[in-house]
Structure 1
Amino acid sequence: MGKVKELTIETRSAIMTLIEEDYSQREIATKLKISKGAVHRTIQRYSSTGGFKDKPRSGRPRVTTKTGDLHIITISMRSRKKTAPEIRAEINVIREEPLSVPINDTTKAKACWTFWARCSAETTSTSPKQDQTVGMGQNP
């Protein structure tokens, strides 16, 4: 099953307005060009919660903050030969609550690539002198 496109709050409120005007679910679905199931789920959600907000999503909670992620990247960039367990050990010395989730090399690499991509997008263009490359056999 693929991802389902969520209804906007405006569409959800339009559904409830049409329900109050005694339209059937089928008529609402046809009028708003959405599925009958989406209309039904919106009505069920409104009757159970009394609002249009999305339900909270499940998922693994974050262990580190964005600041902590930047700290991991900084440690990794400063000492390129440190392994992921060494970085985790260094962070655990600093943190009040130890970092129980292992930082693996894939996570470390992904964080570093994200950092470099963001930095390269933020930098301005270099001067023409810096852009010149030295080919093989040429003197600098």
Structure 2
Amino acid sequence: MPPRRKVTTFNKARAIAWLQDGVSKREVGRRLGVSHSVVVRLHQKFQATNSVLERPRSGRPKKITQREDRFIRRQALQQRGTTANIIRGQLRMATNTNVSTKTIRKRLNEVGLRSRRPAVRPRLTAAHRQARLAFCHNHARWTRQQWADVLFSDESRFNLHHHDGRARVWRRQGERYNNGLVQERVAFGGGSIMVWGAFSFRHRTPLYHIVGNLTGQRYRDEIVAPLVLPALHQIGVQAVFQDDNATPHRARLVNNFIQQAGVTRMNWPACSPDFNPIEHLWDELDRRVRNNHPPPRNLQQLLQFLQIEWQAIPQAFCRKLVNSMRNRTAEGIAKRGGHTHH
């Protein structure tokens, strides 16, 4: 339940003045953005005390002063990766005030700062941001129909077991992807099974299991020729193929093959998984495997579950992802090529 909204003394006085002028309680509530019951209680209290001021309250005084509150908040904002226990020690050294870590967390929570695990995204250089921003500007006016003709593709690794990180940061609501609050990483780490897949607004390729290292020749012979070209043919002559800048994808023999096949290929910016809607398809696939099946006993069973759930994902889910592309490019422009929330 969200915290109850506190009505200021000024607004209480306005409410009483409106009520005395004949304005209904519901209308007063609408004007102040509070419920009808809040106005009723305010009016009853005014009739009983002839005042809108809060009466002095008894109880334990706060352990820390407003100045110490500001110190706690400043430490969390200047060192987003710090902990409540570290701030507690810094407060004791600076002011000789000794409070619990629970009090520190409570004071930070009251100003909207909560400890959360940082979002994990690829590291972005200035060149990456510039390329991402250019991509968004170039596609900002694309229609839904143009995006519907794109075949989005990627590889993904799936593990037998999940491993959650423990890093946390202090942040306000809406700050998840702000600079300095994202835990950046290099290309995806160890895993158990690698698969490749692609989808568009209306179509989906089979899920392909990649055994061993993917080379340019294997990418051409095992994926592009037998899977990508038929999928593009289904979309039509206006089809566009999207793949990222992984080394096998950009091998010369792959580029030559795609060019000779007459395929229109999207110029994709590096380090941009958040622009590719297939990342959400991988997340959905992982959720479905974990929710609809017992924990896989081995890699063969994991692959079997992945194949089943890949086919079971409704195409309506894919259409929704494709329709998100206009929002993705708009947010990329707003973030000036930085990390988006997708």
TM-score scaled by structure 2? Answer: 0.19
Larger Rg, first or second structure (1 or 2): 2
Taking CA–CA contacts closer than 8 Å with sequence separation of 6 or more, which of the two structures ends up with the larger relative contact order? 2
TM-score scaled by structure 1? Answer: 0.42
